[in-house]
Structure 1
Amino acid sequence: MLRIGIVLYPGFQVLNLSVTTVFEFANLTAGSKTYEVELLSEHGGLVTSSAGFSVATEPFGRRRFDTVLVVGDNEMIASPAGVIAFLQRAARTSRRMASTCTGAFNLAQAGLLDGRRATTHWFFAQRFRQEFPNVKLEEDRIFIVDGPVWTSAGMTACIDLALALVEKDLGPDCARQVAKKLVVYHRRAGGQSQFSALLEMQPRSDRIQTALDYAKRHLQTELSVEQLADAANLSARQFSRAFRAETGQSPAKAVEHLRLEAARLMLESGRHPVDVIARETGFGDRERMRRAFLRAFGQPPQMIRRASRAGEVAA
């Protein structure tokens, strides 16, 4: 049995508790109690969450855990000294240390991220870099595994991290079944961006949103302004004007962002040759896709694929 210790403190972000459901359903899927989850705090007893309700916890004590995971909070609460001391002690006896969201600040303060790659919620990335310059922060990642230390981005990325832990322990089939039962997309690749092109554009009208949805479903086609305007039931001139007013960019640039996002996800899945990805995402050929990747990410597609594979090997 693998004992998972989840470290809480007053004001912890309540969504982080969703990792417990991943482990719960891993047990149900495996048909045995593979994981035993314990909620921990410095003194034990009730700990108040960010939502205002409290959960029961056990005091840290001297028990050993296979994996210790510290959660984050909304307000960047100062790490209690007892939490930091416990994390330092647990790192000497546990197989894995992990954090979700801004919990990475706790691991960093405990000195467990020095010289390592890590991620956290994108909103706090600049502050993290200022406070912990010895950590190789990569905020544009869903989760990162560096040796025995696992860190995830903010909010729902904790589910991706927990699914990755299950996949490591019980295999990809079990993790896929857990994800299916939780009605979530099977674990996003750790190297996948925290940002969504559609969310970044944030169109205000249904017509522009409909055109973007159409584009995402037909990336392998040419996707001219006329096609998109037709999907939005607007003339090409009206569509171009409205699109730029709502998204701040041209239709052509938006389509390229959608192609890049789709291509990057396919690269990180590792299942398709670069030529196939270029065709399927509408770039046409690998050279055109390479130039687009260099403009957007400063790296060619092959470098992004290698970085993703390196993360999987480290896991």
Structure 2
Amino acid sequence: MANAGEFRPHRVAVLALDGLLPFELGIPHRIFGRPRDASGRYLYEVVTCSARPPGMVETDADFAVHTAHGPEVLATADTVIVPASYEAGPLYDEGRLTDELAAAFALIRPGTRLASICTGVYVLAAAGRLDGRPATTHWADAERFQRMFPKVRVDADVLFIDDGDVLTSAGVAAGVDLCLHMVRRDFGTAVANDVARHTVVPPHRDGGQAQYIHRPVPDPQLATTTAARAWALGRLHEPIQLRDMAAQESMSVRTFTRRFREETGVSPGQWLTQQRVERARQLLESTGLPMDQVARESGFGTAQSMRQHLQTALGVTPTAYRRTFRAGGGVERPEGAGAPR
């Protein structure tokens, strides 16, 4: 995050463990490796390290990865990200850190932001960083993870959870969602959207993990809710009733609601709120419109309603959000601020 004074990029340390999944290892480098400021300076510095001296780290593929840095990098990081790995041993079999990994984790400075991708959450939990806190992981691993770490409040329905200084994501590609969210949180929607556009991924995915759990393949002749969502996005500034959305697909409200949740992982009402929050963010960042007008154009009706929704979703007021991101800085979020669901 940008601070006053001499420019220094936000340092992201990616901790590579044996058995790591190459795809997850590459996500932080792809997402955090692009953002630049108006002067062309990179906003992040991404460094890969291991929990031991520099050398080869085994992957779950038929190749290894050479890390040029050891655990000392963790002491210099502003954010530490732990990608997924599947090395058998004390961590995944018993839920405890090896002495080597415990020593590496002890180097992390207080206040450093921590994040995990997929089963990287085991590391955070075994280090005691998730006790009494919400977290997520791949839906297929959530039950086992909860049994191993009963003090963690596991939510297997979401793509990621932002609990302030600790963030966790669901499996595999949800790491992209999490990293884009951190860019958006640090430097605003415009920067995150630019990264998403060049990565050729949506800047924000609707719903949670429920939509990816295996179910019988639906009849391809059955209608979807795609047209209703497109219809709603074109009129977020207007009052939108559930029956109006259902009518776009010629469905009953009950059928539409069920189908919508199956396709997006959230209810129509939750989805509308998510889209209106995103619209408000864009207007706050890119315009000088009065708060009442931002609220009307994003569909919240009143500035007070918008304030309540943004406070819940982002952990900051609209005024604070605009002041921070129109100036190009990053938001300081209170502990416990959650991710949009």
Q: TM-score, normalised by structure 2?
A: 0.65
Distance 1:49 1:172 in 2: 34
Q: Partner letter of residue 220 of structure 1?
A: A
Helix, strand or coil at the partner of 1:89: coil
User: Is the CA contact (8 Å cut-off) linking 2:159 and 2:170 kept in structure 1?
Assistant: yes
1:159 Cα deviation (Å)?
A: 0.5
Once the two structures are TM-superposed, the CA of residue 212 in structure 1 deviates from its matched residue by 3.7
Aligned mates of 2:78, 2:255 — CA distance in 1: 45
Q: Which residue of 2 aligns with 1:86?
A: 104
Q: Which residue, 166, 172, 175 being the options, matches 1:149?
A: 166
> Which 10-residue stretch deviates more, 14-23 or 107-116?
14-23
CA contact (8 A) 1:4 1:37 kept: yes
> Tell me, what secondary structure is at the counterpart of 2:66?
strand
Q: Would the alpha carbon gap of residues 199 and 179 (structure 1) be closer, same or farther in structure 2, given more than 3 Å must change?
A: farther
Which residue of structure 1 aligns with residue 19 of structure 2? 11
- Give the conservation status (yes or no) of the 8 Å contact 1:129–1:137: yes
1:125-170 CA-partner distances (Å, limit 9, x unpaired):
1111111111111111111111211111111010111111111221
**Pairing 1:61–2:72 present:** yes
The answer on 1:267 being equivalent to 2:293 is no
Contact 1:144–1:311 (8 Å) recurs in 2: no
CA root-mean-square deviation? 3.2
What is the match of residue 42 of structure 2?
33
Superposition deviation, residue 74 in structure 1: 4.5
Query: By how many angstroms is 1:307 displaced?
Result: 9.3
What is the number of equivalent residue pairs in this alignment? Answer: 251
Alpha-carbon contact 1:88-1:110 (below 8 Å) kept: no
Q: Distance in 1 between matches of 2:177 and 2:114?
A: 16
- Cα distance in 2 for residues equivalent to 1:30 and 1:119: 37
- Identity over aligned pairs, percent: 29
Match of 2:246 in 1: 220
SS in 2 for 1:26: coil
The answer on whether the counterparts of 2:20 and 2:87 sit within 8 Å (CA) in structure 1 is: no
Does structure 1 retain, via aligned residues, the 8 Å contact 2:15–2:83? yes
Q: Following TM superposition, by how much is the alpha carbon of 1:28 offset from its aligned partner in structure 2, in angstroms?
A: 8.2
Measured in 1, the distance between the counterparts of 2:90 and 2:38 equals 38
Q: Which has the higher helix share?
A: 1
Instruction: Please give the alpha-carbon distance, in whole angstroms, between the structure 2 residues aligned to 1:216 and 1:181.
Output: 24
The 8 Å contact of residues 12 and 47 in structure 2, kept in 1 or not, is answered as yes
Q: Which residue of 1 aligns with 2:30?
A: 21
Give the SS at the match of 1:12. Answer: coil
Determine if the alignment matches structure 1 residue 70 to structure 2 residue 87: no
Unaligned runs of 5+ in 2: 1-8, 92-97, 229-244, 279-307, 316-336
Q: 1:75 to 1:252 in 2, by over 3 A?
A: farther
The answer for the alignment partner of 1:291 in structure 2 is none
| TM-score after normalising by structure 1 | 0.70
- Give the direction of change, closer, same or farther, for the CA distance of 1:223–1:77 in structure 2 (3 Å limit): farther
Partner deviation per Cα, 1:261-315 (whole Å, 9 max, x = no partner): 461322333449xxxxxxxxxxxxxxxxxxxxxxxxxxxxxxxxx8996352116
Distance 1:28 1:199 in 2: 42
Q: Deviations over 1:171-215 (max 9, x none)?
A: 1110011111111111336xx311227964423xxxx224344x5
Give SS of 2:203's match: coil
